Amino acid sequence: MLQDELPDSVEVIRVSTSAPYTLSGQVLTIFVGTLAKGPGGLATVDVRLSTAVPSGTVVTNTATLTDNRDVSVTASDAFVVRPATAGKINCAFRAQVYARPGSPLRYVARYKNAGTNNVLTISLPSEGFRPVEFVPPPTEAAGTLVEYRELARTAGLARIDGSVDSSLPDGTVLYSWASVASELGDVAVCEHRSVVRRIERLTTFIKLPSKWRRGTTSVAVVRYSGATEGNELVVNLPAFVEVVSSIPSPVEVAGSVVRFQALPTPAGLVKLRLRLRPEAGPGTTLTISAVMTDASGLTASSLATTTLVP
């Protein structure tokens, strides 16, 4: 008879053996006496480890083989529970490279492979930045230090939205950093620097296929950067083109003019799926233009062309 005393922290999923067996609680009994005599054999037990077992726990499995003369031999094996990670712990910390005084600023800290009892710490700039919203809410915040504990193990992020002090002079560097640590002492550190610039160049760029086949739709992507609050983007389409869908949704579509307002700052994109009307003939060159303005008084424009083919 082979008796396996399974740890309380595991659940039996499957027992693979050619001998009869019973399972009572965590005790598995295999009646090997029914098998043919031989030098040895194999019984496999598949188990699932409870997610409640903390990392660093030693889990021991003990089995005892007893013959018909009550002679027994006992063997055991153990393993240490490790964090459920897919690789080396790491993090990334991002924000705008250029920060405009009086404008919003968003910090995003991303992490991977942080283990179970992880700690994410974010150090915000010592001056010149005022946090407004924390997503998710931190476990603890003291001054410029923000701490999150026991976030999702595999990967995740924390976002902090705020604003830049309007009195900061050009060239001021807003330094911040983030670190993620596991219960085993593994630590990853990442940092970010934003430079204060009062007037950032507003730019737009249109991406459009050089050729457009009749009878198909096409996608125009308008990218912009350096925008502040109160912005407006106006896209002018050719007469033979109409909008099928748009991300984000425009505030107005009036004929060939598509208007967007209050787009995310300081950079982003607008994606338009366009359709040709039947009267558009092959060989025609179509031009799409975009003009963007914002509360700073800056204006940016761009255009792109495409040629219709059969």
pLDDT digits (tens, 9 = 90+) for 260-309: 999 998 889 999 999 988 887 788 889 999 999 987 778 899 999 999 98
Asked whether residue 95 falls in the same domain as residue 124, the answer is yes
For 147, the domain range is 90-196
Average confidence (pLDDT) over 89-101: 85
Q: Which span out of 48-57, 62-71, 260-269 was modeled with the highest average pLDDT?
A: 260-269
Structural domain includes residue 85 = no
- What band does 85 get if pLDDT is binned at 50, 70 and 90? very low
Which of 80, 113, 142 is the C-terminal boundary of a domain? 80
Which of 27, 48, 80 terminates a domain? The answer is 80
The residue-averaged pLDDT of 233-258 equals: 94
Is residue 70 domain-shared with residue 137, that is, in the same domain? no
Same domain, 94 and 76: no
| 123 Cβ contact partners less than 8 Å away, ≥ 6 residues apart | 144, 145, 146, 176, 177, 178
Least confident window among 16-25, 32-41, 103-112: 32-41
In the prediction, which pLDDT does 36 show?
61
The count of structural domains within the chain is 3
| Tokens 């982003």 belong to residue | 268
**pLDDT classification of 86: cutoffs 50, 70, 90:** very low
Query: Is 157 in the same domain as 224?
Result: no
pLDDT of amino acid 39:
58
Q: Report yes or no: 56 and 184 within 8 Å, Cβ to Cβ.
A: yes
With left for phi above 0 and alpha for psi between -120 and 50, is residue 130 left, alpha or beta?
A: beta
Asked if residue 242 lies in contact with residue 217, where contact means CB atoms within 8 angstroms, the answer is: no
Report the sign of the C-alpha dihedral through residues 196, 202, 208, 210, in that order: negative
pTM: 0.43
Same domain, 96 and 72: no
Which of 56, 80, 104 is the endpoint of a domain?
Answer: 80
CATH of the domain at 227: 2.60.40.680
> In the chain, pLDDT over 70 holds for what percent of residues?
93
Co-location of 183 and 100 in the same domain:
yes
Indicate the Cα dihedral angle 148, 149, 150, 151, nearest 10°.
0
Residues 97 and 185 in one domain: yes
Q: 127 and 66, same structural domain?
A: no
Burial class (CB in 10 A: 0-12, 13-18, 19+), 222: buried
**Can you tell me the mean pLDDT for 151-179?**
88
- Residue 65, pLDDT > 80, answer yes
Q: How far apart are CA 20 and CA 40, in angstroms?
A: 16
